[in-house]
Amino acid sequence: MTGAASVDAEVAATLATLRPELARLARELYDEPEIGFAEHASAARLAALLTSHGAEVEVGVFGLPTALRATFPAADGGAPAAETSDVEASDVEASDPEASAPHFAIIAEYDALPGIGHACGHNIIAGVAVGAFLAAAPIVARLGGRLSLIGTPAEENGGGKELIIRAGGFDDVDAAGMVHPSSGAGTTPVLGQRTTGVRRVAVTYHGRAAHAAGAPWLGRNALDGVVTGYQGVAQLRQHILPRRPRPWCRRADPRPTWATSVASSRRSIPRSGSAVPTTCSRTTPTSPI
């Protein structure tokens, strides 16, 4: 049996053993959905299952009560101590050989949508993540790498991953990945437009009050600013190439998926219909910077 085939067989055998527990986890999460930042029971279920298989689990990491991180001790399933012949290796690497080992993080999501539960399949994502982590950990360790599972709360409208990034949760991670269920057959290896992340940008336009009939030339219509801004972005986005400037968006997928659309425009008239509107605002979802 070839190396790859041997690894596949080992993973398949482990998953076959874990299947009842993983299915039960996914079902329990589905039956008791919890919305973003309130996934206390969900995080506890993941932690309990991971701990029962020897993983070291921290809940409440990165400043988020329902975030979690799981690893295996080096002697059990983590990265083994590496042999170093370079006498000029840094003090950090000499004292902690794991620091230089390639580190891959498996992402778990487990928050639900308000009112409709796990319609987005995060219960499945959590089960798959736990299974992948437990099955791959000993293999990654033998190859000299590091593997961790990071539980990210509030994927739905909460920005849990971004908060974890800001807290340094991915600073020592070389790559991360997850599986997301979808309808239809087949798999999608890269992100498409329908899964592109967004960042909301709120813009407020301030005008100058004036009587719309008596002296409109003295006013500055804030609503015109909103309309002009929208038209400018709407026309610009048709011409943005995949090689867009870095400050706009960092993505691995080279396909042109950046888009900006106006989610809402709100008009505020301080006096009456005869006045030039002086305050308007809009909220615009954009790609994450």
**Does residue 183 lie in a domain region?**
no
Residues 14 and 117 in one domain: yes
**Does residue 188 lie in a domain region?**
no
Residues 168 and 246 in one domain: no
Residues 118 and 225 in one domain: no
Question: What's the CATH number where 260 sits?
Answer: 3.30.70.360
Indicate the SS3 state at residue 285: strand
CA distance 110 to 42: 7
Tell me what the mean pLDDT of segment 191-207 comes to.
70
Identity of residue 173: V
Give the contacts of 69 (CB within 8 A, at least 6 positions apart): 57, 58, 61, 62, 148, 149, 150, 151, 169
**Does residue 22 lie in a domain region?**
yes
Residues 255 and 279 in one domain: yes
> Which residue's entry shows tokens 């890269």?
190
**Which of 122, 146, 177 finishes a domain?**
177
Residues 98 and 17 in one domain: yes
**Helix, strand, coil % over all residues of the chain, rounded to 5:** 35, 20, 45
How many domains in the chain? Answer: 2
Question: What's the CATH number where 22 sits?
Answer: 3.40.630.10
Residues 7 and 85 in one domain: yes
Q: What is the pTM of this model?
A: 0.68
On the question of pLDDT at 1 being above 90, the answer is no
Residues 32 and 147 in one domain: yes
How confident is the model over 80-106, as pLDDT tens digits?
Answer: 333 333 434 444 444 565 668 999 999
What average pLDDT does the chain have? Answer: 80
More confident residue, 218 or 265: 218
How confident is the model over 212-229, as pLDDT tens digits?
Answer: 899 999 999 998 988 898
pLDDT at residue 81 in the model: 36
Which range of residues forms the domain containing residue 264? 193-286
Residues 244 and 279 in one domain: yes
How confident is the model over 166-190, as pLDDT tens digits?
Answer: 999 999 999 999 998 887 766 666 5
Residues 138 and 238 in one domain: no
Of the candidate ranges 80-84, 229-233, 241-245, the one whose mean pLDDT is the lowest: 80-84
